[in-house]
Amino acid sequence: MAVHFHEEDLPADVLAPGPVAVDTETMGLVTHRDRLCVVQISDGKGDEHLVRFANGSAYDAPNLKAVLADPARLKLYHFARFDLAAIEYYLGVLAAPVFCTKIASKLVRTYTDRHGLKNLVEELLGESISKQQQSSDWGAPELSEAQREYAASDVRYLHRMREVLVGRLEREGRMEIAQACFDFLPTRARLDMAGWADKDIFSHE
């Protein structure tokens, strides 16, 4: 159980086969303005890998890109819409197929409007995580221990949460509609980047 820090790419062959949990840290929420600083990835076996990109990076990360683009590897996210856009914009790969714990939560936890990662980890797994470093400077020359631990914790629970959420989606008969939503997420991310970020093209207006 360790957090591994890498510069500019993932080493080869550090991940077990199967689904990977993925998250990103950026300079902000405007993808084309706010550069990608960190990609976190975990195979769910207890280790997390942080890949740090420097200011001015060429984002030439063949090992990481190969994992992200592998159509045989399911990618687990919490709010995939944002990460898919950042990854496609900066790394040039579509990091699908997708399972999104936030979408799954919205489809089954209809008794609450609290769908943040912290809420979900607490309710589904009975553990607590800190979101204190969420709005920190991910472009700093050195990432602090607190930042590294925070970044790692964002991918630490996604495999276990997927198990619980799939059980609930099946119980409520919503697995099929969830899957259709996951399959649409790359398109939703592309609409964000193409200028429809704040528009619901399905609404009458």
Q: Closest approach of Cβ 66 to Mn ion, in Å?
A: 22
Instruction: Copy the structure tokens of residue 101.
Output: 């714990």
Nearer Cβ to Mn ion, position 48 or 154?
Answer: 154
Nearer Cβ to Mn ion, position 154 or 192?
Answer: 154
Site string for Mn ion, 6-25 (x = CB under 5 A): -----------------x--
Q: Does 83 engage in binding with Mn ion (CB under 5 A)?
A: no
Sort 12 into a burial class: Cβ within 10 Å, 0-12 / 13-18 / 19+.
Answer: exposed
Q: Closest approach of Cβ 157 to Mn ion, in Å?
A: 12
Q: Does 48 engage in binding with Mn ion (CB under 5 A)?
A: no
User: Which stretches does DSSP call E strand in 27-153?
Assistant: 36-42, 48-52, 75-77, 98-100
Nearer Cβ to Mn ion, position 23 or 192?
Answer: 23
Q: What is the three-class DSSP state of 164? A: helix
Length of the chain: 205
Binding positions for Mn ion, 138-167, rule CB under 5 A = 154
Closest CA to 102 of 27, 187, 185, 196: 185
How far is 193 from 197, CA to CA, in rounded Å? 7
User: Which residues contact Mn ion by CB under 5 A?
Assistant: 23, 154
